Each structure stands twice: as structure tokens, then as C-alpha cells.
Structure 1
Amino acid sequence: MEALKQLLKDLGSDAKLAAEYEKDPDGVMEKRGIPDEAREAMKRKDVDAVRRLSGLRDVHLINSTIHAHD
């Protein structure tokens, strides 16, 4: 899921996007084309599912938002 992978990286590096995500996670994920299964995992803050779905190993829950770093 390339869209999820990119969103996670962007949340880790773009403070404006992270703030927008905090206010409206569904809106951000919809704009980014995140599939339903990944949206649900993100909303549940299910780090293991997000890792599996994104293919990223370096995924973290920080300040109640899941993100990744390059």
C-alpha cells in the first residue's frame, strides 16, 4: 500500500500535515486514497497492522499519531 507508506513518512516529516491529521484523520486519509483496512488500523492505532499493511518496519506511535521516518 504505497499511499499508506507515503502518508506515514509524511506524517513523520511534515508538521502541517501532522496537525491537519490530528484535526481530521479521516479527511486526510480520504484525500490520500488510503484503503479502508488501513484507515481502520490507523484509527485503532494498531501499529502491528499498520506495519504489515505498509511494509514499513520503522513505524511508531508518538503523541497518539502513527508515523514513520526514512
Structure 2
Amino acid sequence: MNVSLMAKFNLSRQSRPYVAPKIGIKQTAVYSVLKACVSQSISHTEKDLEDVVSKILKYAPDRKGGVGRRLEKPSP
């Protein structure tokens, strides 16, 4: 998944005011496949996987190719 696409996702689909809503990856088939692949290769808890995935997605906008962190306030 490239950085600009990762910037459109977060783990739980929660949104903040003045920020475009994101897609919750936890409700997608991609997360199910990722969870199955990781559980076959290493032992972990689901919380460990959630922590890692959320951290990767959290900082995606700041990476090269991301959209950057912009707060767009609506005009009055």
C-alpha cells in the first residue's frame, strides 16, 4: 500500500472536526488478511497488531508521498 493511500485510512474510523473523514481499516478485508498472515508467522496478541497498524497509519501523512498534515477550517 502506498503512502498516499495509507493516509486515507485509520484503525477505527474515528474522525475529528475540520479533518476529512478516514476509512477504518479494521472493518475491511485487508485487515483480516493482514491479521491472518501475521498470526501464522509470529505469536502476538490482537492488541499488539492494532498498536502497530495504528502507528503506521497515524504517521503516513507525514512521510514522503503523503498529503501532509493540514487543518482546513471551513469558511464562515
TM > 0.5 between the two? no
Q: Which has the higher strand share?
A: 1
Instruction: Select the structure of larger CA radius of gyration.
Output: 2
TM-score, structure 1 length as denominator?
A: 0.28
